């Protein structure tokens, strides 16, 4: 546990040191960029100053050259006038001198035009040269300005040197800090390698096991996906089949219900017919029975009227004869009465009503 705590403390301390070093390096890098930007700006300003100084020096050289040309021209004109005064005796020499004088005048005119051009250039810089005295004053002013510019340039150069020295010191410090950081990182990596070589091996083994398990899981997942697809397809097919079967079953059930309804209607019609027939038969039988009773009563009356003494002498045989006569008369009346089938109008005797019922079942079916 103590070793674990010490290792954790070391790791946290290293993290803190690395974070502090990274912050310092980032701040130094920002300062370095800012210094580079200031150096670039100073170099641009110095270049502009150098250009101005070169231009002023070129103007000064032009002015000095123009002054020298003026002095030479004055000397030449003076010598030419002296020669003319000395050689005034001869015309030929006078003509040559006049030619030389004209040449000198033309040269002087050219030089004066050149000087005017130079003066115009100088006037563009706000320095006028009306005469030789003004030119000398302007030259002095230019010299004074050049001195000031040179002094300022020296000051700027000294400032640049100081800034360069400061920047070099900062860069050296940055390089030293980067070197220290690299050394610390290397030492930390070496310690990490030495301390955690076994952990790396275990991590590699765990990674390999994880990859193998992941590969197996992917294979299992693919198989499960295939099984799911197959089951889904089978479910869809089963649903379609069940829907078709349900539809067929519904149709069959509807057809069966219709058939049963038809049969029920037929049975209802048959039962209604049977009830009607039974009612008719019952009514007919009652009517026949009443008629038979009336006939039996009439026959008994007639017999009593025809044979009164025999009835009085033998009472029991008369009763038996009455019963026999009544039964025979009933059977004769039943044989004489007929019943009709409502479907085909076939006639059956009333005594054979069961045959009529069987016939009616067959006929109505």
From first to last of its 365 residues, the chain has per-residue pLDDT tens of 555 666 666 677 677 767 777 777 777 778 777 777 777 776 676 666 666 656 656 666 666 666 666 566 556 655 544 554 444 444 344 445 456 546 655 655 565 555 556 555 545 544 444 444 444 555 677 667 767 767 776 777 787 778 778 878 878 887 888 888 888 888 887 776 776 666 677 777 877 887 888 888 888 888 888 888 888 888 888 888 888 887 888 888 888 888 888 888 888 887 777 777 777 777 777 887 888 888 888 888 888 887 654 444 444 444 444 444 444 444 454 455 677 776 677 777 777 767 877 787 787 66
> What is the pLDDT, as a whole number, of residue 33?
78
3-state helix/strand/coil string of the chain: CHHHHHHHHHHHHHHHHHHHHHHHHHHHHHHHHHHHHHHHHHHHHHHHHHHHHHHHHHHHHHHHHHHHHHHHHHHHHHHHHHHHHHCCCCHHHHHHHHHHHHHHHHHHHHHHHHHHHHHHHHHHCCCCCCCHHHHHHHHHHHHHHHHHHHHHHHHHHHHHHHHHHHHHHHHHHHHHHHHHHHHHHHHHHHHHHHHCHHHHHHHHHHHHHHHHHHHHHHHHHHHHHHHHHHHHHHHHHHHHHHHHHHHHHHHHHHHHHHHHHHHHHHHHHHHHHHHHHHHHHHHHHHHHHHHHHHHHHHHHHHHHHHCHHHHHHCHHHHHHHHHHHHHHHHHHHHHHCEEECCCCCCEEEHHHHHHHHHHHHHHHC
Domain ranges of the chain: 20-193, 219-303+324-364
Q: Are 339 and 350 in contact (CB under 8 A)?
A: yes
| Sequence-distant (≥ 6) Cβ neighbours of residue 326 within 8 angstroms | 292, 296
The closest of 87, 113, 112 to 100, measured between CA atoms, is: 87
Alpha carbon distance 350, 279 (integer Å): 14
pTM: 0.24
């Amino acid at each position: 546990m103590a070793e674990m705590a010490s290792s954790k403390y070391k790791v946290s301390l290293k993290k803190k040191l690395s974070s502090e070093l990274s912050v310092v390096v980032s701040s130094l890098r920002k300062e370095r960029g800012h210094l580079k930007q200031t150096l670039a700006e100073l170099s641009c300003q110095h270049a502009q100053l150098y250009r101005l100084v070169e231009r002023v020096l070129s103007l000064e050289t032009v002015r000095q050259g123009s002054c020298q040309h003026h002095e030479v021209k004055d000397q030449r004109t003076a010598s030419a006038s002296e020669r003319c005064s000395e050689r005034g005796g001869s015309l030929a020499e006078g003509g040559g001198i006049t030619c030389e004088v004209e040449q000198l005048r033309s040269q002087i005119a050219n030089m004066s035009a050149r000087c005017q051009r130079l003066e115009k250039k100088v006037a563009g810089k706000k320095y006028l040269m009306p005469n030789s005295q003004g030119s000398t004053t302007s030259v002095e002013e230019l010299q004074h300005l050049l001195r000031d510019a040179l002094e300022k340039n020296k000051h700027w150069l000294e400032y640049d040197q100081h800034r360069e020295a400061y920047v070099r010191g900062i860069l050296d410090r940055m390089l030293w800090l980067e070197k220290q950081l690299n050394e610390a990182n290397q030492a930390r990596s070496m310690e990490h390698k030495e301390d955690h070589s076994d952990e790396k091996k275990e991590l590699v083994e765990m990674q390999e096991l994880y990859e193998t398990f992941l590969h197996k899981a992917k294979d299992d997942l693919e198989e499960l996906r295939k099984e799911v697809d197959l089951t889904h397809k089978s479910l869809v097919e089963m649903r379609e089949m069940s829907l078709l079967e349900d539809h067929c079953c519904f149709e069959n059930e509807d057809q069966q219900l219709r058939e049963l309804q038809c049969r029920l209607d037929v049975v209802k019609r048959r039962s209604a017919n049977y009830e009607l027939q039974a009612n008719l038969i019952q009514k007919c039988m009652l009517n026949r029975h009443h008629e038979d009773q009336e006939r039996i009563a009439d026959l008994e009356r007639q017999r009593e009227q025809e044979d009164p003494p025999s009835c009085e002498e033998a009472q029991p045989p008369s009763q038996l004869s009455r019963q026999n006569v009544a039964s025979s008369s009933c059977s004769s009346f039943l044989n004489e009465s007929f019943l009709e089938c409502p479907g085909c109008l076939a006639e059956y005797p009333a005594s054979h009503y069961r045959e009529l019922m069987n016939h009616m079942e067959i006929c109505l079916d």
